Amino acid sequence: NAGVTQTPKFQVLKTGQSMTLQCAQDMNHEYMSWYRQDPGMGLRLIHYSVGAGITDQGEVPNGYNVSRSTTEDFPLRLLSAAPSQTSVYFCASSYHRGTMNTEAFFGQGTRLTVV
């Protein structure tokens, strides 16, 4: 198993450009989510999905779109990049054990700089 794979690892964008951060998992996990990590603020949830075709907003969704057409993939789209979106982005997946959720498995992150 590759686990959770994020691409690209690094990206520089100009203000106003759009792009898609890719995330794929091969563990057949139901739940996938996107977080951004900023210094001193930990990880904040952007969007999450509890299964194919189902997505919902997290704590900081503005400026980002997601879709979940398959169990494996959960891309994050930046519609019009802004310097405030400079951050490290992590994708995570997790699964249920019985009726309760278990730990999240994280990708290696995408370091995004918007100039």
Task: Determine, following the binding rule CB under 8 A, whether residue 92 of this chain makes contact with another protein.
Answer: yes
Give dist(CA 62, CA 81) in Å, integer. 11
109 is a site residue for another protein (CB under 8 A): yes
What totals of helices (H) and strands (E) does the chain contain, helices first? 0, 13
User: Is residue 2 within the footprint of another protein (CB under 8 A)?
Assistant: no
Stretch of 13-21, 65-73, 75-83, 97-105 contacting another protein, by CB under 8 A? 97-105
User: What does each C-alpha distance from 40 to 12, 37, 79, 98, 101 come to in angstroms?
Assistant: 22, 9, 26, 35, 27
The verdict on 23 binding another protein (CB under 8 A) reads: no
Binding positions for another protein, rule: CB under 8 A:
4, 30-33, 35, 40-45, 48, 50, 58-59, 90, 92, 94, 96, 99-109
